[in-house]
Structure 1
Amino acid sequence: MQRLTRLLLACTWLLASGLAVAGDTTDLDRQARHLWYDGILSGYQALAREAQTFARVAGDYCQAPEQTTLAQVRDAWQRAFLAWQAVRFVDFGPVENDNRAWQFQFWPDPKNLVARKARALLTSGAPVTREQVEQGGVAVQGFPMAEYLLFDDAFGTSDQALPATSSCALLTAVAGHIADNSQQLLADWQAFRPHYLDTAQFRDTTLRAGVAALEILEERRLAQPMGLRGTGKRSVYVADAWRSGRSLAGIEASVRGLHQYFFPGLALLLEHSDQPELGPWIDAQFGEVLEHFPALRQPMAPLLAPEGHFGALQGLYVDLSQLAVLVNDQAAVALGVVRGFNSSDGD
């Protein structure tokens, strides 16, 4: 009888303590913000580190250009670009200053403004300077411009192809801008810590950022190139990073970033909600999406071709859509998040 009594008391204590934690929503929300802050900090640190490496390798290549070192520059660009993809979901705070997100990645680019800006700079007859990049607008300043110089097929066979002097000047200026921008973003995020942790509204702001990122992943970055949205025609040119063939690698990096930096805070909140089962379901669905890789670490264009393995993209799309439903339609509702207008999708 005493053992039964102790067991009942223990169960009662566990239930009461669980309700106490769940009831202290202010403390719980702050714990979630701590998890999000630390995760985003890790992501920004990785971005700053990889961007610095990209700038250094690009400078080394232009000092002594060789085909092998060009491959190293392309690899450094990819690592920095994928580090950006991992934190791309953050659409609030310091990344909003001076259109920083757009400085990192001008996309969508339906008018091919990146290529037009590059041609204008390289054919002007004037030396390309860092000041021109700083003042040239977001289409000049980020990863897509560097991608054009490093990967565009037509440009790569032109008279201005790397390591032409003007093209190298543009590449090193853009890489330097990305590196400086990354370092400043990291410093500003570190300074932003007290405000983020002490401001209750950033709970919903962060949740909405994850929701918006999944919407963009599903609708813009995957469904539209597949012809499931928009014109209804398959086209790799509406995807991001199509020149380098890294569209799917970018999607993988964004999903991993959401899982690593966004999900822990979401899981904590769901654990103490009236639908605690959603956390493990979402975790498992992240795994389902990521299981499509590394098989899909390849260019998207061949998969979109009539004879391509389109079914692989369809499988990824189905699993990504299910993840979006769990997070956007179920978890957000369970946590009382009102979904608002998203300004980071290029509209």
Structure 2
Amino acid sequence: MNRESDVKRIILYLAVLGITACQSTTEKQAQLPEQSNHDSQYVYAIEFHAARDFARNARQLAADIHGYCRQHQSLDEVRASWLEAMHVWQSLQGQARGPAQALEQSWNIQFWPDKKNTTGLKMQGLLQQDRTWTVAEIAEQSVAVQGVGAIEWLLYDRHSPFLNGQMETGCRLAPAIGENFAQRASALFSAWQVNPWLSLDQSAWTSEYISLLSNQLKYTLSKLIRPMAKIGHPRPYFSESWRSGSSLSHLKANVEAMQALYLAQGKGLDYLLREREMSALADRMKIQFESILAAWPEQSGLFAFLQTKAGYRETLSLRNKLEQLSYLLHDEVSVGLGVAIGFNATDGD
């Protein structure tokens, strides 16, 4: 019995060493964005700060998972850390623009859509193996068990050992997933240490900027369209975070992030449109963002909301407003500025 306790203490000590190394790496990274006079500077600064905050929140989440397994923190505290990390992730989600090294981390950070409950099935498969998992081993597993979805499953799913009085079983797996997630977030932040758009001329940068917003808007719309499916026949399990009941909250964070990118501290697309004497179009974009957020549903979740007639109607109205925003961006802003939305200008293709 004593030997078994010693082994557990050694495993925990090695896990703590792993998270300490992750912290040290993040602390060595620059905490302020690279400065330049390039047109992309204000957008780059927003992306940099989002990546920095995401790395910090991911690191805190990993630490809180360790704290929970050492019985120093409650499950609710770990859930709060997960929700905060997810909230920050929405600022970077679905953009498909920026440093290639950052984009490479996206699937590892979030596996969605999960049409066949791949995360649930694979998580149960890992837990059935009587072993303590390491960070390196998790990094070699399916992306479905590496990111925010896997952690959500551990914290909220009815099949999770944490919800069935089996903390020891869950703690053979959860710390490794948490640390791997923190390392992925740190790698993403490392990629944003340098502005990836400095080589672009004004026209190429404007195209890249609009594409970034367009991609994020398209991804956000997909998070509504997939679970809505056909009228009268929603598929709520396609919601991004149905287990935690936070899908609508995350969608709102997406829109807030896009609004911030559009304005870019007074030097973004809104400024560019006004500078080109397209103030009326700039006002329509600005008002559309504001009207979407002003009418946002009070509910945080989409799962139960879609299964009522009133909730479905309200979600449909929200979808229509987002599609109008997409129309303005694609068919009026890009045309008005004379740019084409194309491939990622930083990926070397």
Class of the TM-score when normalised by the shorter of the 2 chains: 0.7 to 0.9
Correspondence list, 1:200-211, <5 A = 200=201, 201-211=204-214
CA contact (8 A) 1:32 1:268 kept: no
Q: Which amino acid aligns with 2:44?
A: Y
Q: Secondary structure at the match of 1:115?
A: helix
Equivalent residue, structure 2, for 1:61: 68
Contact 1:58/1:175 (8 A) holds in 2: yes
Whole-Å Cα distance in 2 between the matches of residues 178 and 167 of structure 1?
Answer: 16
Post-superposition offset of 1:223: 2.1
* Unaligned residue ranges in structure 1 (runs of 5+): 1-29, 343-347
Q: Which has the larger radius of gyration?
A: 1
Classify 1:120/1:39 alpha carbon distance in 2 versus 1 (closer, same or farther; 3 Å): same
TM-score by length of 2: 0.79
Partner secondary structure for residue 197 of structure 1: coil
Cα distance in 2 for partners of 1:282, 1:58 equals 41
| Kept in 1: contact 2:227–2:235 (CA 8 A) | yes
What's the CA shift for 1:177?
Answer: 1.8
Q: Name the CA shift for 1:102/1:184 in 2 (closer, same or farther; >3 Å).
A: same
Partner of 2:235: 235
Q: Structure 2 counterpart of 1:203, which letter?
A: T
User: Structure 1 residue aligned with 2:42, among 27, 35, 38?
Assistant: 35
Contact 1:225/1:238 (CA < 8 Å) preserved in 2? yes
In the other structure, the counterpart of 2:281 is 278
- Which 4+ residue blocks in structure 1 deviate beyond 6 angstroms? none
CA contact (8 A) 2:162 2:170 kept: no
Letter in 2 for 1:285: Q
1:124 aligns with 2:129: yes
**1:53–1:76 Cα contact (<8 Å) kept:** yes
Structure ranking higher in helix proportion: 1
**Structure 1 partner of 2:334:** 332
Q: Which amino acid aligns with 1:34?
A: Q
Cα pair 2:213 2:261 within 8 Å, conserved:
no
Alpha-carbon separation, structure 1, partners of 2:38 and 2:285: 20
Are 1:226 and 1:234, in contact at CA under 8 Å, matched by a contact in 2? yes
TM-score by length of 1: 0.80
1:1-347 pair list within 5 angstroms: 31-64=38-71, 69-94=74-99, 96-97=101-102, 99-153=104-158, 155-156=159-160, 161=164, 164-190=167-193, 192-193=194-195, 195-200=196-201, 201-218=204-221, 220-228=222-230, 233-264=233-264, 265-293=268-296, 295-306=297-308, 308-340=310-342
Contact 1:128 / 1:166 at 8 angstroms: preserved in 2? Answer: no
| CA RMSD, 1 decimal | 2.5
Tell me the CA shift for residue 206 of structure 1. Answer: 2.8
The 2-side partners of 1:132 and 1:162 are apart by 25
Partner of 1:224, secondary structure, is helix
Deviations 1:69-105 (A, max 9, x none): 1001011100001100122143223355573111111
What SS does structure 2 have at the residue aligned with 1:110?
coil
Query: 1:37 & 1:74 partners in 2: Cα distance?
Result: 30
In the aligned structure 2, how far is the partner of 1:213 from the partner of 1:37? 15
1:235 partner amino acid: R
Identify the range of structure 1 (197-206 vs 120-129) with the bigger mean alpha-carbon deviation.
197-206
Distance change in 2, residues 1:198/1:123 (3 Å): same
Q: Residues 299 and 137 of structure 1: is their aligned pair in 2 closer, same or farther, counting only changes over 3 Å?
A: same
Cα separation, 2, equivalents of 1:84 and 1:281: 27
Q: How far off its partner does 1:296 sit?
A: 3.0
Q: 1:159 to 1:258 in 2, by over 3 A?
A: closer
For residue 268 of structure 1, report the CA deviation from its aligned partner.
Answer: 2.4
Please list every run of 5 or more consecutive structure 2 residues that lacks an aligned counterpart in the other structure. 1-36, 345-349
Shift of 1:202: 4.0
CA contact (8 A) 1:282 1:323 kept: yes
- The structural deviation recorded for 1:341 is 7.0
